[in-house]
Amino acid sequence: MEAGQIQSQPDTTARHRVGLEEGWWQERVPAWSRVDAATFHDHAWQLRNGVSRPSDLVPLVGDLVPDGFMDDLAAGLRIAPMCIRLTPYVLSLVDWTDPGPDPIRRQFVPLASEIEPDHPRCSLDALEEQRDSVLPGLVHRYPDKVLFLALQVCPVYCRFCTRSYAVGKDTGAVEKCSLGAGRDRWERTFEWIENHRGVEDVVVSGGDTWLLSSAMIRRIGERLLATAHVRRIRFASKGLAVLPQKILSDPEWLDVLAHLASEGRQRGVQVALHTHFNHPREITSVTRRAAQMLFERGIVVRNQSVLQRGVNDEPGCMTRLVRGLSRIQVQPYYVYVHDLVPGVECLRTSLAEALDLERAVRGQTAGFNTPTFVCDTIGGGGKRDAHSFEHYDRRLGIAVFRSPVVDPERPFFHFDPMRTLDRSVQAAWRCDRTQQEMIHSVLDQAGFGWSH
């Protein structure tokens, strides 16, 4: 069956119940001109009709895109660390008549023509999550927090995923590491958390928890709520931004999340949803409705954006995103300076650009709705406030951070994209000897000395 083809007709009262705008997808994607709102806003239809191959895209947008686009995409996919997967909803947010600069396309669909060589210090797991894993899929970096990677799949795959080493299907460039089968691994994870009384904060991520069934969400939530020392549980999901229909049309799933949040409140434990919007155009009538339903059920929602060149690196855009999220009661919590991820150098900004953007955004709205700009530092130092570097040499594009809780003696880094550096500095980066000399000179300036 072709992507976009209607496979079933869900309850036609759904359209009435959610009260949504009609039809932008019908105009944007002619192949969906007969897909009505009840169908389009059914999460199961969205998942069944996802696009995961270039050949799925051809019947949907092949007549709209510029000449050469499909070849560019196919070539991009051959070298990308992430496969593609788009929900029809995300697909309908892209202007396919001009996909080159489109900020939604840039996040999810790779084009060979825009790919830049990786930074010389780039690696597949630059944040060293695997090194800090106490079990497969259980990262323990901060004393009171663990990151539980419950699954390895998502409804939509982001080109820039920092977990490209494990998330999604294998690509021509990356063979994904397997975290192992679900049930036993989960059981070992729960036991580890139960045996470590210092762990108060559990992030349940992946992959995307939107794809966990209501029974799975219940199992994880109830097991963690039964662990007395766990005080905060966060379900991490990009779903509200890429498949908000889940909230509108999967009442059992929403009920389970609301039940866990309510149970948590009674026990003094916060159960929150952490989501991932990157551009104001991702806030639609559907997300507004879904966010309102979460708000009415008392579920705290926070947002973590990834700063991306050509997507949200302009002050007006980031301000609209922050204000738009605040308006739907999603707290803009973090903006991550883009990590070093293979194949997406074209999306990275320099730290200086991130700092300028932060200055422009701060003050645009209430402080509690102003995101903290953070660097998830290379080498596993964890998230550091982007302003908190020990030393930043803008000419060489090297920032050095300390992370006293992780390791007070070890330096952790951010490296700016090569494109932002002078030609002579770019040349120095390409030579191992001069690369080391540059890093050591910045370490000296940062007070770390040559031993590193």
Residue among 158 and 386 whose Cβ is closer to ligand SF4? 158
CB of residue 401 vs ligand SF4: minimum separation in angstroms?
Answer: 22
Sequence-ordered strand ranges (E) for 79-208: 133-135, 138-139, 145-149, 201-205
Q: Which of 45, 117, 171 is nearest to 421 (CA)?
A: 117
Radius of gyration of the chain (CA): 22
Residues contacting 229, CB < 8 A, separation 6+: 197, 198, 199, 200
CA distance 265 to 375: 32
CA distances from 1 to 5, 7, 48, 267 (A): 7, 9, 10, 48
- Closest separation between CB of residue 166 and ligand SF4, Å? 9
Q: In whole angstroms, how close is the CB of 160 to ligand SF4 at the nearest point?
A: 7
Residue nearer to ligand SF4 on the CB measure, 163 or 185? 163
Residue with smaller CB distance to ligand SF4, 240 or 354:
240
Question: Which CB, 207 or 417, lies closer to ligand SF4?
Answer: 207
- Whichever of 375 and 398 has its CB closer to ligand SF4, that residue is 375
Measured from the CB atom, is 159 or 402 closer to ligand SF4?
159
Q: How far is the CB of 209 from ligand SF4 (least distance, A)?
A: 10
How near is the Cβ of 174 to ligand SF4 at its closest, in Å? 13
Residue 281: left if φ>0, alpha if ψ -120 to 50, beta else—which one? alpha
Closest to ligand SF4 by CB, 39 vs 87, is 87
Contact positions vs ligand SF4 (CB under 6 A): 154, 157-158, 161, 163, 167, 206-208, 238
d(CA 263, CA 265): 5
Smallest gap, in angstroms, from Cβ of residue 207 to ligand SF4? 6
Residue 379: partners with Cβ closer than 8 Å, 6 or more residues away: 126, 127, 128, 410, 411, 412, 413
Least distance between ligand SF4 and beta carbon 157 (Å): 5
In whole angstroms, the minimum distance from the beta carbon of 238 to ligand SF4 comes to 4
Of the two residues 132 and 200, which places its CB atom closer to ligand SF4 in the complex? 132
Distance CA 414, CA 378 (A): 6
Residue 133 CA from chain centroid, whole number: 20
- As a whole number of angstroms, the distance between CA 437 and CA 449 comes to 12
Residues 6+ apart with CB under 8 A from 119: 340, 345, 348, 415, 417, 418, 429
Q: How far apart are CA 34 and CA 22, in angstroms?
A: 12
Residue with Cβ nearer ligand SF4 (167 or 202)? 167
Closest separation in Å from C-beta 330 to ligand SF4: 16
Half-sphere exposure of 411 (CA within 13 A, CB side): 24
Nearer to ligand SF4, 227 or 303 (CB): 303
> What residues are paired with 233 via a beta bridge?
202, 271
**Beta strand ranges found along 103-222 (DSSP E):** 133-135, 138-139, 145-149, 201-205
State both tokens at 14.
Answer: 């759904």
Write phi, then psi, for 275 (nearest 5 degrees): -120, -170
Q: Write down the least CB distance from residue 278 to ligand SF4, Å.
A: 10
Pairing of strands 201-205, 398-403: unpaired
